[in-house]
A and B are shown apart, each in its own frame.
Chain A
Amino acid sequence: MSKTLLIFRHEFRHMIKRKAFIILTLIVPVLALIGIGAFQLVSTDQASVETTTIGYVDEAGGFDQSTSQGHIELVRFDTHDDATAALINGGVSEYFVIPSDYLSTGVISRYTLKRQLETPLPIATAIKNFLTSNMLADKVPPETVYRVEAPLELVTTRLTETGEVAPEQGGYGNVIIPAIFGLLLALSLQASTIYLVQGLGDEKESRLIEVLLSSVSPRQLLTGKVLGLGAAGLLQVVIWLISLPLVLNLASSSIGGFFSTIQLPANFLVLGIVYFILGYSLFAALSAGVGAISPSAREGQQLSMIYAMLVYIPLWFASFLFIFPDSPIWSVLTIFPVTAPIAAMLKLGVTGIATWELAASLTVLVLSIILVMFLAVRAFRVYLLMYGKRPAWGEVIRNLRTG
């Protein structure tokens, strides 16, 4: 068996037996299940919510119909004092006053014992619908009143250029798998980075690296390590992906219709694999370089956190992408190599990626991998045996240049 393969096998086995790896692999599906469980619990709670009673004082007159708004019951009081007394003794949870000049000003005064940032949406909706119903009652048919309260149910259909209904309809259903995959990819990249830097740091600190290098070449050692950890990372992602349908099934049976709208964007699988491999290669090369120049595993990890955190940027700004899908920031994140894998996955789900953008993203990623790999192998040779002190940045750059 070739020595690279021996190192690959050792690293892979060593990795999948690590407690941290096993915990991370299991915790993602478990957390998803807990999340769904918690959602069910909350929705059951909501279903069994007791009717809230709120009071109102009608100084304008004529507001006496539709006092039942879903879970909210409205009770009329004749005076402010009566309503305040009911609020204090717990008869109502809050009350509001419709002043005599309401029609001209629109002002409604609300009184409550609770400290709140703003009026809770169910209460505001209930009050709004109560006012609308009363103002339109007897003037228009009940259907019109209902329509005024809920004027539109927007249904969008995407057509192709030939006018047919497009197979991909977009929407959140389209982005959910890429977003989950992006998150898993980011987690896996970050974990692999930590393990690679730590592994190299440990071998450096224990001086085992010298024994290894008296048996194998730096290239064999790096390749074996990177492939071994990559295979373990891939196994982790595969386990997550296999558990995904199970979790989603459970989710759609409990959360409902939304998950039935989930669909895979075109090219998702191919691009997912391509970006996983390229993203992993870039992070492995960066980690090998950082592992080489860091005097200890701990310092290496601190340094690697810089780019390991960058990978999450597209996820932090995901809601921004949903609101402004055409912002140039997205093109930048899709082309910038460290953020490219996750940004491309998200963009694929939301708007799709333009051909030029995809080409630029992949080209920059591949060029970055080649450059970083070249520098990492140099750094590996120069700094692998430097223990105890961190080289100055100027020295690192000079050494990388001269080799």
Chain B
Amino acid sequence: MQAVEVNHVAKSFVDRVAVDDLSFTVAQGEMFGLIGPNGAGKTTTIRMMMDILKPDSGKVTILGEKLNEATKNRLGYLPEERGLYRKLKVLDSIVYLASLKGMDRRSATEKADELLDQTGMSASKNKKIEELSRGMGQIIQFIVTIIHDPQLLVLDEPFAGLDPVNTELLKGMLADLRNQGKAIILSTHQMNQVEELCDRILMINNGHAILYGDLGEIKARYRGNSVFLDFEGELGEVPGVTGRRNHKSYTELMLDDKTAPQQVLEHLMGRRMVVNRFEVATPSLNEIFLKEVGKTA
């Protein structure tokens, strides 16, 4: 059973088409990146998955069924722009929102204590939300998202506004959750985070899917035939190299169609050159993103 199945979903508003015939699946135990520029339709897609918006057409299945009260209890959602009841105390907020996910008061309190401890927020549990910093509030909201042990997590820009320490803390917790078999959908602009964390991605623009699949495969697809090289001494002539471009700390060698990077490395080793770095040039997800979005703009 897939954690999420979105089939030919479309949604229009009065003045624009937000999502147009979008389909994708997310497997259990997978970290899935949902990426795209501002206004691409990511949040609308998430809201349709959460049953906050009704799609005009198409079908969304969550954890094997159409979203209902029982399935809502098995999913955790962290919206992009966050807020909690400002006048309510931290622990009371967590326990109330956990109770709406079907948890009883006692187990919600116990679990909240455990998570507050794990995130180093125990000292703030009796403070009012309005007394917390933005980053602290975000950690509390993350706790609200995961407290009921959901099978599916949908996180919209979870790292925005977090300091590096808390970003690492969150990444660690997300990795643990994935290892426990939870499906995690990460919607973000931060491509480095997607590259680091996600197994598969869906890139959308203007409501359409423009890239979808395994992250490694997608990157391989965009790989140019060049290598990055940092060496000592004179490089001289290398067979199969059609051009070279000097960067600050390395040189990029452009290869002809018949030459594989492995052959270049073998040639250099044969010449007993001192090689500090040899890397098949793969574009970053950010470069792929800019290229694809630029193409459809």
Using a CB–CB cutoff of 8 Å, the interface residues on chain A facing chain B are 1, 3, 6-7, 10, 14, 202, 205-208, 210-217, 381, 385, 395, 398-399
The distance from the CB of A306 to the nearest CB of chain B, in whole angstroms, is 25
Complex: how many Å from CA A33 to CA B79? 50
With contact pairs A3-B69, A6-B100, A206-B86 given, residues A214 and B50 touching in the complex (Cβ less than 8 Å): yes
**In the complex, what residues of A have CB within 8 A of residue B141's CB?**
211
A214 & B77 in contact (Cβ 8 Å cutoff): yes
With contact pairs A207-B82, A214-B77 given, residues A7 and B100 touching in the complex (Cβ less than 8 Å): yes
B231 at the interface (CB under 8 A from A): no
A216 & B100 in contact (Cβ 8 Å cutoff): yes
Interface centre among B75, B77, B79 (most CB of A within 10 A): B79
The distance from the CB of A198 to the nearest CB of chain B, in whole angstroms, is 12
**In the complex, what residues of B have CB within 8 A of residue A208's CB?**
83-85
**In the complex, what residues of B have CB within 8 A of residue A385's CB?**
47, 52-53
Complex: how many Å from CA A219 to CA B73? 17
A sample of 19 more A-B contacts (CB under 8 A), given A6-B96, A214-B51, A385-B53, is A6-B99, A10-B96, A14-B85, A14-B88, A202-B85, A206-B85, A207-B79, A207-B80, A207-B82, A208-B84, A211-B144, A213-B51, A213-B52, A214-B50, A214-B72, A215-B97, A216-B72, A216-B100, A399-B14
A395 & B77 in contact (Cβ 8 Å cutoff): no
A215 & B96 in contact (Cβ 8 Å cutoff): no
Which single residue of chain B is at the shortest CB-CB distance from A1? B99
B101 at the interface (CB under 8 A from A): yes
The distance from the CB of A351 to the nearest CB of chain B, in whole angstroms, is 47
Interface centre among B52, B73, B88 (most CB of A within 10 A): B52
**In the complex, what residues of A have CB within 8 A of residue B97's CB?**
211-212, 215
Total residues of chain B contacting the partner, CB 8 A: 28
B81 at the interface (CB under 8 A from A): yes
Question: Main secondary structure on chain B at its contact with chain A?
Answer: loop
B52 & A215 in contact (Cβ 8 Å cutoff): no
Complex: how many Å from CA A207 to CA B144? 14
**In the complex, what residues of A have CB within 8 A of residue B51's CB?**
213-214, 217
A214 & B81 in contact (Cβ 8 Å cutoff): no
Q: Mark B155-172, 1 if CB is under 8 A from A, else 0.
A: 000000000000000000
With contact pairs A210-B50, A385-B47, A399-B14 given, residues A215 and B79 touching in the complex (Cβ less than 8 Å): no
Complex: how many Å from CA A1 to CA B144? 19
**In the complex, what residues of B have CB within 8 A of residue A381's CB?**
54
**In the complex, what residues of B have CB within 8 A of residue A215's CB?**
72-73, 97, 100-101
The 5 lowest CB-CB distance pairs between A and B, nearest first, are A206-B83, A214-B77, A215-B100, A210-B79, A207-B81
Complex: how many Å from CA A213 to CA B79? 11
B100 & A206 in contact (Cβ 8 Å cutoff): no
Which single residue of chain A is at the shortest CB-CB distance from B75? A214
**In the complex, what residues of A have CB within 8 A of residue B47's CB?**
210, 385
Which single residue of chain B is at the shortest CB-CB distance from A10? B96
Which single residue of chain B is at the shortest CB-CB distance from A392? B14
Complex: how many Å from CA A249 to CA B163? 65
The distance from the CB of A398 to the nearest CB of chain B, in whole angstroms, is 8
A-B pairs with beta carbons under 8 Å apart, 28 shown: A1-B99, A3-B69, A6-B100, A7-B100, A202-B85, A205-B83, A206-B82, A206-B83, A206-B84, A210-B77, A210-B79, A211-B79, A211-B141, A212-B97, A213-B50, A213-B51, A213-B52, A214-B51, A214-B75, A215-B100, A216-B69, A216-B100, A217-B51, A217-B69, A385-B47, A385-B53, A398-B14, A399-B14
Complex: how many Å from CA A208 to CA B96? 13
The distance from the CB of A12 to the nearest CB of chain B, in whole angstroms, is 13
Complex: how many Å from CA A295 to CA B84? 18
Complex: how many Å from CA A385 to CA B100? 20
The distance from the CB of B93 to the nearest CB of chain A, in whole angstroms, is 9
